[in-house]
Each structure stands twice: as structure tokens, then as C-alpha cells.
Amino acid sequence: MSARGDRDAFLTFFAQGLAAAATATREQMLALARVQEDLVEEVRASSLSSAHAVDLVGLAVANPSFTVRTVQAEFGLSYGRANTLVGQLVDLGLLQLVSPGTHPRRFTAPRVLQVLLAGSPTQRSV
């Protein structure tokens, strides 16, 4: 095979891999958008009246793991108010504590993690 043939085969292989990665990323982003829409709907259907509750959903989608201090800084809330807000979304089942008993406490949205891990090699082999 000529050097040109080798190069063409490599470029074809590379382009196919790039296309597959782009398609997978697009599908993951669309799935994350659907999860965010679902979580926002659940917040709106709840009795929560905080304007920041929907914002917290966005933060949870953008940051797979975060602390109460992150919420405090992002929204300009007191620590107590940020902690209450996180607790309210935990009570709704939209957020959960990552590792109970550790500090600082880290929270995640399980449905976001499910989407992010769905294509990982670890998840596929399970």
C-alpha cells in the first residue's frame, strides 16, 4: 500500500471517530437538556416559592457535584438560605448527598449523573 493510501485510510478512520464522538456528545447534551426540563417542571409543580430553586437546577446540571458554599456564592445568598434551598431540593428527591459524613458536603442531581455516566466504559460493562 502506498503512503498516500495509508494516509487516506488514517484520515477516514480519524474522521469516522470524530463524527461518532460529535454524535455522542450531541445526544448527551440533548439528554441533559431533557433532564433539566424535567427537573424544572418538578420544581415548578412543587410548593417551593424560591426564585432560586429553578436556578439551582441549572447549577446542578452545569456542575455534577457542588457544595452549599457554591450555591451561596453563585446566587449571593446567605449560607443558611443556600443550605435551606439545597435541602428543599433534596427533600423533593432532585438532589442527593454524594458521600454522607464527609465535609464539605457535596451534592449531585442523580439524573444528571445518570446521563453523564451512561456512555462511560465503566457503566457499559456493568
| 97-122: pLDDT as tens digits | 999 889 999 999 999 999 999 866 55
pLDDT exceeds cutoff 90 at 96: yes
pLDDT exceeds cutoff 50 at 124: no
Please tell me the predicted confidence (pLDDT) of residue 120.
62
Nearest CA among 108, 70, 113, 102 for reference residue 89: 108
Q: Does domain 31-124 have CATH number 1.10.10.10?
A: yes
| 6-47: pLDDT as tens digits | 888 888 888 888 887 787 788 889 999 999 999 999 999 999
Q: What is the pTM of this model?
A: 0.79
Q: How many Cβ atoms are within 10 Å of 114's Cβ, its own excluded?
A: 12
Alpha-carbon distances, residue 63 vs 2, 9, 12, 98, 123 (angstroms): 48, 39, 35, 13, 20
Most confident of 1-10, 41-50, 72-81: 72-81
